[in-house]
Chain A
Amino acid sequence: MNGSKIQSKTSKVVSSVILWILLIFFIMPFFIVIVDSFKSNAEIMENPLNLTAHPTINNFVKAFVQMNYPSAFLNTFIITLLSVLLITILSAMTAYYIVRCKGKTGSFIFYSLVASMMLPFQAIMIPLVSIYGNLGLLSNRLTLVFMYIGFGCGMAVFIFHGFIKTGIPISLEEAAKIDGATLMQTFFMIVLPLLKPVIATIVVLDVLWIWNDYLLPSLVLTQPWQLTMPLSTYSFAGQMSINFGPLIASLLLTILPVLIIYVFLQKYIIEGIVAGSVKM
């Protein structure tokens, strides 16, 4: 007994040591970005790994102005917020319809949506640009939101559907109906609040996807004032080439909002990832 206790203690120490060494490799890139963003280009060329004795914020100023940070941030924020909000509400309503409706329509909609989850974006990308381009609908941020709803509703409906089917007792809704509640009242006041845990999952998955997405916005948005952060970071990087200081500062500026949110909400984000993947 004593032997196995000692054994488990040494194995814990070994586990810890391996993990902390691995962690150093994992966070090294972040460390380099933070350290170098305060250095001049010459200092970075000289030694990219040390701390500088003369920190400067010039890199940040240049990046902030040239990548049009406030505009890019606001675009990303509004597009993500609107898309996620609409995906969540519309998908929850549709999933509710699919579970509660009588007849075949519901399951037909359900299977079409689930089948669409198999489709890689690349298979839709070219006709999408072709159709919406010919209709003159590209170069518009609302078109992008509209497309995100289309691409996001499959998974969201799928996850909501599983939860409503097993987790929401129909007796609650029947009681509300007897009390004279309309369909909308029943859904928004009784069903939707019960969906909170799944809503959290969908919000986490969709925010990470839309906030960081590059390919779809790069096809839809063309004007400089419409760009989201991944787009403006990429185009700024193209202009900077080997002017590393501002380039790295721009990367830190792009990462920062997400990292700050992660510090406060990491528990929910990780739970959301687990819940989302297990339901796949």
Chain B
Amino acid sequence: MKRNTKKYNLKFFLIFALPTLLIFILVMVIPFFYGLLMSFTNTNGMSRFSWVGFQNYITVFNDSRFWNSFGVTIKYVIACVILTNILGFVIAYLVTRGIKGQNFLRAAFFTPNLLGGIVLGLIWNFIFRQVLVNVGTKLNIPIFKDTWLADPDKALWTLIIVTVWQLSGYMMIIYVAGFTGISKDVLEAADIDGCNSLQKIVKIEMPLMVPSFVICIFLTLSKCFMVYDTNISLTKGEPFGSTVLISYNIYREAFNNHNYATGQAEAFVLFIIIAVLSIVQVHIGKKMEVEQ
């Protein structure tokens, strides 16, 4: 009997867990540790290499291009996280007031999320390069007369606008779920106590929706830190390299400059930043949660 269970357990493992496990090891685990080793060598992916210790990380920390793109990324992420969540929350609030056609509206605001970053970037590239300039010239609106894509101060904002335009519909869906999860009793009690709508939002609905905020901020943070497609299709890092976000910088370092090792060191720095930020953010969020 005991041998039978052992055999059964082994068979269970071999058929149900092993295939996934093998693929997971080959695609993620081995490359992860191999990448860790790579970041301590001077490999370029092809010829022989030797160990260089922490040299790559030192190079990364002294590399002004890396810090430049890091700074640009931070600006981009902060603007996107704040604006996306405000807009997503506001739209979610408005489409949960029981107005006509709110299901249609929810579906419509979500639409940009069906498209990939490449297509979105190309559409908006055309809008910023052609449509806005055309309209600006005809209606004599100075701010649109020259394309924003050629202006180092405004080019980053094109990326922010596109990202907020896309992601706020996604976050709206999650905030809608948060709003509909609040019990009607609590809100009715507040009505009877004479709360106005603003008091209800700030004092009741927002504290009860902390879990939604945690999810949405986590999602926007990680999505924005890793943006690549929109970056290459909308601005290509131009003008004058003012919009090279960190993912694109890693790509260029590794595959255009053939510095696999320093590229990998940059990637691990990105990994650590994202990991620390998400843990801190989720931890703070959990502390702020309120029971209904």
On A, residues with C-beta under 8 Å from B are 4, 11-12, 15-16, 18-19, 22-23, 26-27, 29-30, 32-33, 44-45, 47-49, 90-91, 93-94, 96-98, 100-103, 105-106, 109, 112-113, 116, 118-131, 133, 146-147, 149-151, 153-154, 157, 183-184, 187, 208, 211-215, 219, 230, 233-234, 237, 244, 247-248, 251, 254-255, 258-259, 262, 266, 269-270, 273-274, 277-278, 280
Q: Which residues of B contact A22 (CB under 8 A)?
A: 91, 109
User: Chain B's nearest CB lies how many Å from the CB of A35?
Assistant: 11
**Cβ contact within 8 Å between A49 and B20:** no
Min CB gap B77→A, angstroms: 13
The secondary structure that dominates the A interface is: helix
- CB contacts (< 8 Å) of A277 on chain B: these are 173-174, 215, 219
Nearest chain B CB to A144 CB, angstrom units: 11
Stretch at the interface among B58-66, B119-127, B201-209, B283-291: B119-127
A150–B23 CB distance below 8 A: yes
- Interface residue B186 (Cβ < 8 Å from any Cβ of A): no
Known contacts: A270-B173, A280-B218. The answer to whether A116 contacts B24 by CB under 8 A is yes
A90 touches B174 (CB 8 A): no
B62-96 interface (Cβ within 8 A of A): 91, 94-95
With A97-B16, A120-B226 known as contacts, the answer to whether A255 contacts B119 (CB < 8 A) is yes
The interface stretch among B142-150, B151-159, B271-279 is: B271-279
A122 adjacent to B45 (CB under 8 Å): no
**CB pair B15 A122 closer than 8 Å:** no
A118 close to B274 (CB less than 8 A): yes
Q: Say yes or no: B134 contacts A19, CB within 8 Å.
A: no
Contact residues in A for B131 (Cβ distance below 8 Å): 32, 48-49
Given A15-B99, A123-B270, A214-B264 contact (CB < 8 Å): no
Whether A98 contacts B24 in the complex (CB less than 8 A), given A29-B127, A122-B270, comes out as: no
User: Once the chains bind, are B260 and A130 in contact (CB under 8 Å)?
Assistant: yes
Bound together, the chains give a CA A96 to CA B12 distance in angstroms of 10
- A112–B94 Cα distance when bound, in Å, is 41
Q: In the assembled complex, which residues on chain A have CB atoms less than 8 Å from the CB atom of B281? A: none
Please indicate the chain A residues that have their CB under 8 angstroms from the CB of B27 in the complex. 124, 128, 146-147, 149-151
Among B107, B116, B124, which residue has its beta carbon within 8 angstroms of that of A214? Answer: B116
